[in-house]
Amino acid sequence: MKKLCTYFAVFLCLIFLMVPLQAASAAPTPTPATPAASGAPDADSLNCTSAVLMDASNGKILFSKKPDEQIFPASTTKLMTVLLLLENSALDDEIKCGREVDQFHSSSSLVGLDQNEKVTVKDMVYACLLASGNDAAAAAAVHVAGSESAFVEKMNEKAAALGLENTHFENAHGLQKETHYSTARDMASLARTVIKNETIIQVAGTKEYTMPATNLSGEREFINTNRLIESKTENDEKFLYEYATGLKTGSTPKAGNCLVASAEKDGATLIAAIFNDPTKEGAARWEIAKTLFEYGFSLQDLGIDTGAILSGDPEIYSIIESQPLKVQVKDADADDPHNGMLELEVTLDDAQVSALSAETIAAVKANPNSIELNLSPNEFTAPVAKGQVVGTATYSLDGQELFTGQVSASRSVAATGGVTAGAQASQPGYLVEPEGGGFNILWVVIPAALLLIILLRIMLKRRSVRRRRKRVSRRRTTYYNF
């Protein structure tokens, strides 16, 4: 019996050792994100939802992470507000505040303006950009358009004129609304226009400002919320960046911590747009901005023509986006609202798009319907989690590979019985194993366990018989010795 127990224990140990080996062999190899360019930051390591680095001189994207993913801009919205204010007012014009300044909760970011208070346009710009006053933005909106709703119309008209195709504004200050959204690409493009205004870049680069007394208030002290420009505490000093020139911060619970920043070095001006930094007090956005700026300036130092090399033609992205990629997911739950049909989102490798020759770009534009797509893998099995990286898309034209993209799920798809993606979906880059593939350890474990149970019962039965015989033998011996 002791030998049997020993064999049984050894067998169980072997089984448990085999399980992780089987899991490892069944799990597909992760598909890593391709770096944007040699020496470029690793997009996956940036602690934010989306980010863009733009060359302000030509609008070219030097680096991006999910540049067209919808984000909430929070108070970076005020860049558009201030731009329209300055385009429709003189700096010494006077703004008389109305009821619009009283609509905000006390916990909101406020300058503390009162009804009937009179403030110059210049001071209102400081109140919006440095102090990020929501009341200041509302007062500016009413001053320009007569009402906030009319001003919002102007904001969206301006966005359309600037080509911000994925942006829609609902207010002048950036407080959370589901229909108030943008993208990192659009906000960087807005910033490119904004920094052409000398007043904005001067104000946004100011560390501290004392707003003069008004008819209803004494002086107000503003400290720039951009930690690349000014530190609030000693701990913030590590975020200071000597080449930073401005722009605007933002933060709401749903938007996360946001930053649209500009920097200038040796005549080159760069713009960084960073959205949804989830860290406490938004510490990551400052480091991300510095990393992006240093990368961009390193290209300038190397004499690389960023306009010619490091940015893809926007029309190429539009062509790909105009061709939705949909797949049928196997084993989807019967209650799936789309019957298992899943639209995939493709994040193109910007470096590859940027490296296309002028002739290739022209050929793609001339024959957009001739682009061939190879999806790897070409089968997907539920469950799938929203945002899960599920494969790679390779685009070709006339047999010539153009560029690749990382493919992710646009929504979650539950498996039959309502099973959702759990541990597997929590490992980005792992693909769903195709149906019917590979060896299953249960084919060995279950029969072996049944066999062991049978053997154990037989051995126990034999042991019981031997014990009974011994007891009978002892009774007989005792009787004859009496």
Q: What is the CATH number of the domain that holds 181?
A: 3.40.710.10
Q: Tell me the H-state helices in 32-183.
A: 78-87, 121-129, 134-145, 148-161
How far apart CA 166 and CA 186 sit, in angstroms, is 7
Closest CA to 437 of 27, 110, 92, 81: 27
User: What's the pLDDT at 32?
Assistant: 33
User: What's the pLDDT at 346?
Assistant: 84
- Are 381 and 350 in contact, with CB atoms under 8 Å apart? no
User: pLDDT digits over 239-270, tens only?
Assistant: 999 999 999 999 999 999 999 999 999 999 99
pTM over 0.85: no
Q: Of the residues 50, 64, 75, 354, which is catalytic?
A: 75
Q: Please give the helix or strand (H or E) that residue 364 lies within, else none.
A: helix 358-366
Instruction: Please tell me whether residues 159 and 14 are part of one structural domain.
Output: no
- Is there a catalytic annotation at residue 75? yes
User: What's the pLDDT at 190?
Assistant: 98
Instruction: Please tell me whether residues 100 and 206 are part of one structural domain.
Output: yes
- Are 64 and 184 in contact, with CB atoms under 8 Å apart? yes
User: What's the pLDDT at 28?
Assistant: 35
Residue 215 lies in a domain: yes
Instruction: Please tell me whether residues 292 and 150 are part of one structural domain.
Output: yes
Instruction: Please tell me whether residues 250 and 193 are part of one structural domain.
Output: yes
Query: Which residue stretches of the chain have pLDDT < 70?
Result: 1-39, 301-314, 349-352, 354-355, 358, 421-445, 447-448, 460-482
Instruction: Please tell me whether residues 122 and 247 are part of one structural domain.
Output: yes
Residue 34 lies in a domain: no
Q: What is the CATH number of the domain that holds 327?
A: 2.60.410
- Is there a catalytic annotation at residue 78? yes
* Count of domains forming the chain: 3
- Is there a catalytic annotation at residue 147? no
Q: Of the residues 50, 132, 262, 354, which is catalytic?
A: 132
DSSP secondary structure, 185-240, as one string:
HHHHHHHHHHTTSHHHHHHHT-SEEEEPP-SS---EEEE-S-TTT--SSGGGGGG-
Q: Of the residues 78, 154, 248, 290, which is catalytic?
A: 78
Residue 416 lies in a domain: no
Instruction: Please tell me whether residues 7 and 141 are part of one structural domain.
Output: no
Instruction: Please tell me whether residues 296 and 267 are part of one structural domain.
Output: yes
How far apart CA 18 and CA 21 sit, in angstroms, is 5
Instruction: Please tell me whether residues 52 and 15 are part of one structural domain.
Output: no
Domain that holds residue 9: 2-22+440-480
Sign of CA dihedral 264, 238, 130, 295: positive
